[in-house]
Amino acid sequence: MQESVQAEVMMSFLVSEELSFRIPVELRYEACDPYAVRLTFHLPGDAPVTWVFSRELLVDGINGPCGEGDVHIAPHGAQLTDAVIRLQVGADQALFRAGIAPLIAFLDRTDKIVPLGQEATLADFDSHLDDELGRILAEEQSAG
């Protein structure tokens, strides 16, 4: 079984109304963290920056404005072919625009690993596995 999905999407970093530039953004999803997606931004001259937020937020943001706190996502444009992602830390914020089609393609691939709505099943399995491994190790240590 595939454990992760990765894609590179070109996004526009919106510096101002008049200035934007395209940057590569890595999207990553891992079955071991089934609720989260990771976006790693490769800004020129800076170390890569990774943001982690819920996969559900990305799904919902493609369909309509959503997000509370540091991450907001909303469809954008007359034909709603783009999404705007706003990342905020305190008073500072960064705006990115991406095509919705590559985001949907990425989400479709994540759904093949862990279907939406089935995350809890996988998360519960991992917690039970950790509990069982801890019990086995404790038994081995007490026997030895």
CA distance 64 to 50: 24
Residue 142 lies in a domain: no
The total domain count for the chain is: 1
Residue 123 lies in a domain: no
Residue 17 lies in a domain: yes
Residue 143 lies in a domain: no
| pLDDT, average across residues 106-120 | 87
Residue 144 lies in a domain: no
Residue 109 lies in a domain: yes
* Span 41-82, pLDDT tens digits: 887 788 999 999 999 999 999 999 999 889 999 999 777 899
What CATH number does residue 32 fall under?
A: 2.30.31.20
Residue 137 lies in a domain: no
The boundaries of the domain holding residue 56 are: 4-115
Burial of 27 (0-12, 13-18, 19+ CB in 10 A): buried
The DSSP H or E segment spanning 39 is: strand 36-41
Q: Can you give the pTM of this predicted structure? A: 0.79
| pLDDT, average across residues 11-16 | 92
